[in-house]
Chain A
Amino acid sequence: MALVFLVFFILPLVFVVVVSFWDYNDYEMIPTFTTRGYTDSFEGCLAQLPELCTILKTYVQTLKFCAIVWAATLTIGFTVAYFLAFEVKSREWQIILSLICTIPFWTSNVIRMIAWIPLLGRNGLVNSFLQAIGLIDQPLEWLLYSQFSVILALVHLFTFFMVVPIFNSMIRIDRALIEAAYDAGASGWQTLWNVIIPLCKPGIVIGSIFVITIVMGDFVTVGVMGGQQIASAGKIIQTRLDALQFPAAAANAVILLGVTFLIIAALTKLVDIRKEL
């Protein structure tokens, strides 16, 4: 176990950090210590303040996506999990419905994303329908290759990662606790707020970690659904890799890792995950 962890996680990570401090030119890496990988990316950023330079804007954009997707997946995921855990009474139906939730995972991410395109495109189903019923006369441009479509696809792809851990927390709640709350005069919302949500906190945090780490590093969804017009932190790394600037790519990866790590550290402050697992 420790060996697997070392070979597949620690070593590559160490390697990325080491490479991020190497020098580079147009066609090769030069193993000497330099912080060029970092400084190049942020060139001129300090001078531009308070105007945000491109790279900072990109990070802000990624964080914004992350926050919106997180809020949406949490709301939808919690609702679905609540329905599965409390409204569906029979165990068989709970299993059947959970399996149905996994159906989208039977195809690849890319296919699921592409499936949105005929739906949202300028002559897509949604636009055609809205025009047919006379709600709009011009096709809505913001449906596809926009922030909207990126967020929609991300929420669609990752809500399930919220459902599973929250559902897992919910089915472990002793039903007598809900009755005890009811006995004490709590209304449905009061029970939700005072009993169910606090007891689901571990599931919420674990689901949040899944969603946040995936969205922070995502560049495929942002690329495809954004029509290659929207930048993201992951996209920066990809661009650097395409340009064979490995140290710069590594440096950006380290920065992204740092930011994500900070968010997760803040989340784990809320709940002791090791105790809950």
Chain B
Amino acid sequence: MPNPAALELAALTKRYGSTTAVDAIDLKIAAGTYCCLLGPSGCGKSSTLRMIAGHEAASEGDIILGSQNVTDLAPARRGTAMMFQSYALFPHLSVLDNVAFALKMRGVDKKTRRAKAGELLDLVAMTPYAGRLPAQLSGGQQQRVALARALITEPQILLLDEPLSALDPFLRIKMRAELKRLQRELGISFIHVTHGQEEAMALADLVVLMNGGRIEQMGSPREVFNAPRTEFVARFIGGHNVIATDTAKIAIRADKLQLVPGSAMDGARGGIAATVTDVEYQGTFVQVSARTAAGEDLIAHVGEAVFDARPLQVSESVTALWDAAQSHTLS
């Protein structure tokens, strides 16, 4: 089966004319890592992935896979394989022949390549559908076939371009668990491009948050979520309040922000006066939105029991309080 290798990007740059899509990024991904490239559309994450895959030429910089500089190699010679956003299954070929395609291109004889494709279909539990055409499969099934097709070349790294975006929310959660399981079983690195922070948090060993062609922050999901470095990260990752204080902007997790009824100030901990604008029941917690006098929107996730003890009403005056240890100064 595939042999894992580390990936290193060194000052990788992509320019389209005068615009710079990817701006000299440096990134090391250890072998066997589930890495998510996360960011809003146009942040350069897809260009980065396509450069790693070899479908876009790098303007500058190097891509080193294992011990080899693969920057100028053709996609199939890099040891990478790509799973496309819309899966890009060949509509005229059966599931089995789709999976066997790469081996056919290498001139592997029919019997051998079909046997190998059969093994991969087994891996993604699609054996019963081997004879079908892609159009006869559901989105989730198509994705599994696309996975099997990408894996048949035994890549050292699998590149996934927004693999879950075409699926409905229920299937998305199911398939992401499967991606994670597969990555663990194969032991190779997956590089997964997504704009969904929830998806990245659930899957990644390493989250790489990109903005404007640069890496804004990277680390484990916990590191990024608990210590966002910039306002962009705090806002993009969600679940944070960004509050401007006298000295700097700070981030406070929504579940660490307290909203106390009344405008009484608790001098010891600081606080901001605000007015409740919305109360949403979310099951395990209640999401209370409030607006400060300065017009900043705050969100507090209040435990159900805490909320029940003293329910807040819309347009009620409150004071937002937080523990200084829970706040992070943003750069």
Q: Is the CB of A185 within 8 A of B88?
A: no
Select which of A185, A194, A195 is within 8 A of B76 by beta carbon. A185
Binary contact track B57-94/A, C-beta < 8 Å → 1, others 0: 00000000000000000111100011011101111100
Interface assignment of B105: CB less than 8 Å from any CB of chain A: yes
Instruction: Tell whether A176 is near chain B: CB-to-CB under 8 Å.
Output: yes
Does B269 sit within 8 A of A, measured CB to CB? no
Please, which residue of chain B has its CB at the minimum distance from the CB of A178?
B88
**Pair B76/A177 contact, Cβ less than 8 Å:** no
Tell me if B55 counts as interface (CB < 8 A to partner A): yes
Chain A contacts of B150 at CB under 8 A?
Answer: 183
Given A183-B81, A183-B82, A184-B76, A198-B92 contact (CB < 8 Å): yes
Which residues of B are found within 8 Å of A180, using beta-carbon distances?
A: 82, 84, 88-90, 149
Number of A-B contacts defined by CB within 8 Å: 60
A102 interface contact, C-beta 8 A: no
The contact string, 1 if C-beta is below 8 Å from chain A, for chain B 206-238, is 000000000000000000000000000000000
Contacts of B74 in A (CB 8 A): 182, 185
Closest B residue, CB atoms, query A176 = B88
Q: B149: which A residues are within 8 A, CB to CB?
A: 180, 184
Find chain A residues with CB under 8 A from B105 CB: 181, 184-187, 190, 194
CB pair B90–A176 under 8 Å, yes or no, is no
> Does B263 interact with chain A (Cβ within 8 Å)?
no
Q: Is A43 located at the chain interface by the 8 A CB criterion?
A: no
Q: Which of A185, A186, A199 contacts B91 (CB 8 A)?
A: A199
**Cβ-closest chain A residue relative to B159:** A183
* A185 contacts B102, C-beta separation under 8 Å: yes
C-alpha gap A183/B76 in the complex (Å): 5
Asked if A179 CB lies within 8 Å of chain B CBs, one says yes
A185–B153 Cα distance when bound, in Å, is: 9
Given contacts A198-B92, A199-B91, A181 and B101 within 8 Å (CB-CB)? yes
In the bound assembly, the distance between CA atoms of A122 and B104 in angstroms comes to: 54
Q: Given A183-B75, A194-B104, does the pair A177, B90 have CB atoms closer than 8 Å?
A: yes
Contact B84 A176 (CB under 8 A): yes
A179 to B161, CA, bound (A): 13
Interface residues of B in 84-138 (CB under 8 A from A): 84-86, 88-92, 101-102, 104-106
A174 at the interface (CB under 8 A from B): yes
User: Given A183-B55, A183-B76: A195 and B90 within 8 A (CB)?
Assistant: yes
Q: Which residues of B contact A177 (CB under 8 A)?
A: 88, 90-91
Report the bound CA distance from A187 to B101 in whole Å: 12
A182 engages B85 (CB within 8 Å): no
B22: chain A residues at CB < 8 Å are none
Q: Can you name the residue of chain A whose Cβ is closest to the Cβ of B55?
A: A179
Cβ–Cβ < 8 Å partners of A201 in chain B: 92
- Chain A interface size band reads 10 to 19
- A residues near B53, Cβ cutoff 8 Å: 183
Evaluate whether A184 and B153 lie within 8 angstroms (CB atoms) in the complex, with A177-B90, A190-B105 already known.
yes
Q: In chain B, residues 253-296, which have Cβ atoms closer than 8 Å to a Cβ of chain A?
A: none
Q: Tell me the complex Cα distance, A174–B268, Å.
A: 63
In the assembled complex, the Cα of A149 lies from the Cα of B105 at a distance in Å of 42
Cβ–Cβ contact A179 & B104, under 8 A: no
> A185 touching B106 by the CB < 8 A rule?
yes
Question: Min CB distance, A205 to chain B, in Å?
Answer: 14
Q: Which residue of A lies closest to B75 (CB)?
A: A183
Q: How far is the CA of A49 from the CA of B53 in the complex (A)?
A: 66
B84 to chain A minimum Cβ distance, whole angstroms, is 5
Which A residues lie within 8 Å of B86 (CB)?
Answer: 174, 176
Contacting residue for A182 out of B75, B89, B90, CB 8 A = B75
Instruction: Give the complex CA separation of A199 and B89 in angstroms.
Output: 12
Nearest Cβ on chain A to B162's Cβ, whole angstroms: 12
The residue among B77, B86, B92 with the most chain A CB atoms within 10 A of its own CB is B92
| CB-CB nearest in chain A for B50 | A179
A176 touches B102 (CB 8 A): no
With a cutoff of 8 Å between Cβ atoms, the chain A residues found around residue B82 in the complex are 179-180, 183
A109-151 contacts to B (CB < 8 Å)? none
A198, closest chain B residue (CB): B92
Q: What CA separation (Å) do A180 and B134 show in the bound complex?
A: 15
**B92 neighbours in A (Cβ, 8 Å):** 198-199, 201
Residue of B nearest to A187 (CB): B105
Specify which chain A residues have a CB less than 8 angstroms from the CB of B54 in the assembled complex: 183
The complex places the Cα of A195 from the Cα of B90 at a distance, in Å, of 7
A179:B88 contact, CB within 8 angstroms: yes
The chain B residue sitting closest to A180, CB to CB, is: B88
A177 to B101, CA, bound (A): 12
Contacts of B77 in A (CB 8 A): 185
A171 to B158, CA, bound (A): 29
With a cutoff of 8 Å between Cβ atoms, the chain B residues found around residue A176 in the complex are: 84-86, 88
**Chain A neighbourhood of B75, CB < 8 A:** 182-183, 185
Q: How far is the CA of A145 from the CA of B88 in the complex (A)?
A: 51
Q: Given A181-B90, A185-B102, output 20 extra A-B contacts at Cβ < 8 Å.
A: A174-B86, A176-B85, A176-B88, A177-B90, A177-B91, A181-B105, A182-B75, A183-B53, A183-B76, A183-B81, A183-B82, A183-B150, A185-B74, A185-B77, A185-B106, A187-B105, A190-B105, A194-B101, A194-B104, A199-B92
> Can you report 10 residue pairs joining A to B where beta carbons are below 8 Å apart?
A181-B105, A182-B74, A183-B55, A185-B74, A185-B75, A185-B102, A186-B105, A195-B90, A199-B91, A201-B92
Interface residues of chain B, those whose CB is within 8 Å of chain A, are 53-55, 74-77, 81-82, 84-86, 88-92, 101-102, 104-106, 149-150, 153
Please give me the 3 A-B residue pairs with the lowest Cβ-Cβ distance, nearest first: A185-B76, A184-B102, A176-B88
